[in-house]
Chain A
Amino acid sequence: MSEERQLAGDLISEIEAITRRIGRPLKLMEVCGTHTVELRRSGIHSLLPPAISLVSGPGCPVCVTPAGYVDNALSLAESGRAVIATFGDMLKVPGTSGRALSSLSGRGLVKLVYSPTELVAIARASTLPVVFLAVGFETTIPTAVSALLEAREAGVSNLLLYTAFKTVTPALRFLLASRDHGIDGFILPGHVSVIIGEKAYDFLTEADGRPGVITGFEPLDMLVGILLLARQIEKGENRVENAYPRAVRAAGNPRARAIMEQNLEPRSDVWRGLGKIPGGALALRPQWAGSDAEKRFALPEAKDAEAPGCLCARVIAGKALPPQCALFGRRCTPDDPVGPCMVSSEGTCAAYFRYGAHR
């Protein structure tokens, strides 16, 4: 038996022992989409005692972006007002009409990018404004903003951002404020925490908070995260622990945080399935009005709407699991998705479809 498997076995035995002593079902939320995928890819869900259920949180950026945002992007491209630049995931997300940006492929209206570092060159080569679909959490926000800074330095004025930037901690506060959340602890996102730092989660230690453990992405990292949560729950604590110290510092990444603070300001935007989250979004500050696609093209507020039968909204809120959706695996597959949770490689439905729900 490999050393890794041995260690995993030891961790699981301890988790089992603690859960037995706690004597009630535990609901742990993995906030980050990468955790959702890695927990299933490594088969951890199949090893945990049945008393522990893992639910996904609102941590997949594509999933929490409302359908109305796609409508606005489609309208910009189709009316010839701008060229849309986007990561691959957003291409397949259906708007409220069921149509996705991929329906425009081959017409030169939509450019696929792998990294925001490509944006300046794309804008320079374009006669039209280039609008980047700036979707993401703190992990990707600084690089998207950097592209704008780089464009200004290079004298390129036709690069715009259509921001759907989201921040993690307001969403957690929002979830905790709902009476029936039922969450016993949070597996906190490793990558986002690299930027925002351990201290950003201090609110979890307040009276109606819950324990949180900043967790890495290797199988053993995730088992340690779950074990530390179980220990806190048994002792009735709610502390924030950093189980990913090789990457996460107390204050995060000051340079990345400065880029965000100087150029962006908090706003209350609609999250798919959750509604308006106070301060849960970041928008460009007024000094960037000319590069803000929303202002420049007077785009209407992105509305939230679900395709008939789609449970993405409840899945994102941790209130339903993918197999409970009648469309899952039948009408909705990664090759022909209905909702964003099946589109995104970080989406909960895609992870369940791909790796199964074995126990």
Chain B
Amino acid sequence: MSGEPLVRLEHGSGGALSRDLVESVIYPAFASDAYPELADAGPLEPGSDLLLTTDGYVVDPPFFPGGDIGRLCVFGTCNDLAVCGARPLSLSLAMTVEEGLPISQLQKALDSAASAAREAETRIITGDTKVVPKGKGGGIFLTTAGVGRRVFPHRLSPVRVQPGDAVIVSGPLGAHGIAILATRESLPVGGSLRSDAAPLFPLASVLFPLGESLHFMRDATRGGVSAVLNEAARGASWGIEVQEDEFPVSQEVRAVCDLLGLNPLEIANEGVLVAFVAGQAAQRALDSLRSQPLGAQARIVGRVTAQDAGTVIMVTSIGGKRLLDFPRGLLLPRIC
């Protein structure tokens, strides 16, 4: 399209355009020799065991089955730390509130954040409040930053992934995004669909005893598992082959996805992690995850291969092969 490039809603979808924006506009502004990677969480200073992360929350509607913006803003930030091998310590919470919002709604969101912090064994220790004129904001926007202490001593990064690694998904996919969508669009899908919003540190920490066999973890939020796998493989000397039939997806989520032409692998989750584990440790990792309630449906969904470098290949239910591409287009805006 001609004209000056403008920010599009798709830039926030967690798909290919989000990645392009980060790589072409955001990294160049901040990347440095000391911080070349700009990961989801980084050390407070080079070599530090204290990690810092931050995340903004704009979910619409702010209250939905299985969670609300208060729970999300705590768990989401804690989860970014957890998948980097760090135990969450403390959070800050900044609120941007629109004029005219009932104070009871703000109260409800903040009470929920406080209770989520207790659940995640962290605390909110500082914050900020801003109010914007009616019509210039989206009700409640929350931003949290979190500090965590690294408890897993090895590096967790796609650069440690190797051919032969198993790719493990910790639980059923798509519940968060579909619960939000169903609420927003008043879809008649029954009351069983609930967001999976949950703290991931307990689940991540059962993998820490794998030591060097644990190579990389990521929580599968915006853009879903598909975005995580493609980001990991991007530019790598290896590829990923996954089995369509192995991904855990609930019947309710599958039904809504079929109806709306959505792919459950591209839908946001708030309580699912993807782990890359050395092949010989895969069964042990799976058993450990399954010992936890949140990981009871964990599955090995695929393997890292020496072929198809940089791409994710899906073996379909009939045994065919095709690309599993980065999510594209407008997925579901304001999903977290």
Q: Identify the A interface with B (CB < 8 A).
A: 2, 4-5, 8-9, 40-47, 94, 98-100, 102-103, 219-220, 223, 334-336, 353-356, 358
Contacts and interface: CB of A to CB of B under 8 A. Distances in A.
The interface centre, meaning the residue of B2, B314, B316, B328 with most chain A CB atoms within 10 A of its CB, is B316
A4 B317 contact: yes
A62 to B, nearest CB: 14
Contacts of A98: 1-2
Q: Which 10 A-B pairs have the closest CB atoms?
A: A43-B320, A356-B323, A8-B318, A43-B316, A355-B322, A43-B322, A46-B321, A219-B318, A46-B320, A47-B320
Contact of A44 (B2, B313, B318, B329): B318
Interface of B: 1-3, 10, 16-17, 20, 245, 311, 313-323, 325, 328-329
Contact of B2 (A5, A99, A334): A99
A44 B315 CA distance: 11
The interface centre, meaning the residue of A9, A44, A223 with most chain B CB atoms within 10 A of its CB, is A44
B321 A358 contact: yes
A243 B90 CA distance: 62
16 contacts: A4-B317, A5-B318, A41-B316, A41-B322, A43-B316, A44-B318, A44-B320, A46-B320, A98-B2, A99-B1, A103-B1, A103-B3, A219-B318, A336-B1, A356-B311, A356-B325
Nearest to B261: A345
B318 A220 contact: yes
A358 B1 contact: no
Chain A at the B interface: mostly helix, strand, loop or mixed? helix
Contacts of A99: 1-2
A356 B310 CA distance: 13
B248 to A, nearest CB: 15
A99 B3 CA distance: 10
Given A103-B1, A358-B313, A45 B320 contact: yes
Nearest to B3: A103
A4 B318 contact: yes
The interface centre, meaning the residue of B311, B319, B328 with most chain A CB atoms within 10 A of its CB, is B319
A9 B321 contact: no
Contacts of B322: 40-43, 46, 355-356, 358
A42 B320 contact: yes
A99 B1 CA distance: 6
A335 B320 contact: no
Given A43-B315, A219-B316, A356-B322, 13 more contacts: A2-B245, A8-B318, A42-B316, A43-B318, A43-B319, A43-B321, A47-B318, A100-B1, A103-B3, A219-B317, A223-B318, A336-B1, A354-B323
A8 B319 contact: yes
Contacts of A358: 313, 321-323
Contacts of B20: 335
B242 to A, nearest CB: 12
Nearest to A356: B323
A145 B2 CA distance: 34
B319 A334 contact: no
B10 A335 contact: yes
A341 to B, nearest CB: 15
Nearest to B263: A41
Contacts of B1: 94, 98-100, 102-103, 336
A335 B17 CA distance: 8
Nearest to B329: A334
B318 A353 contact: no
Nearest to A40: B322
Contacts of B2: 98-99, 103
Contact of B317 (A5, A40, A335): A5
A220 B325 CA distance: 23
A43 B16 contact: no
A223 B245 CA distance: 19
Contacts of B313: 356, 358
Nearest to B330: A88
A220 B317 CA distance: 10
A45 B323 CA distance: 12
A335 B318 CA distance: 30
A44 B317 CA distance: 10
Nearest to A358: B321
A100 B320 CA distance: 36
Contacts of A42: 316-318, 320, 322
B301 to A, nearest CB: 15
A232 B292 CA distance: 56
Nearest to A97: B2
Contacts of B10: 335
B114 to A, nearest CB: 39
Contacts of A354: 323, 325, 328
Contacts of B319: 5, 8-9, 43, 47
B317 to A, nearest CB: 6
A353 B325 contact: yes
A214 B245 CA distance: 28
B333 to A, nearest CB: 14
Contacts of B316: 41-43, 219
Given A44-B318, A334-B328, A355 B3 contact: no
A254 B270 CA distance: 48
A47 to B, nearest CB: 5
A335 B321 contact: no
Contacts of B317: 2, 4-5, 42, 219
Nearest to A352: B323
A22 B119 CA distance: 67
Contacts of A46: 320-322
A353 B2 CA distance: 22
Contacts of B311: 356
The interface centre, meaning the residue of B3, B20, B320 with most chain A CB atoms within 10 A of its CB, is B320
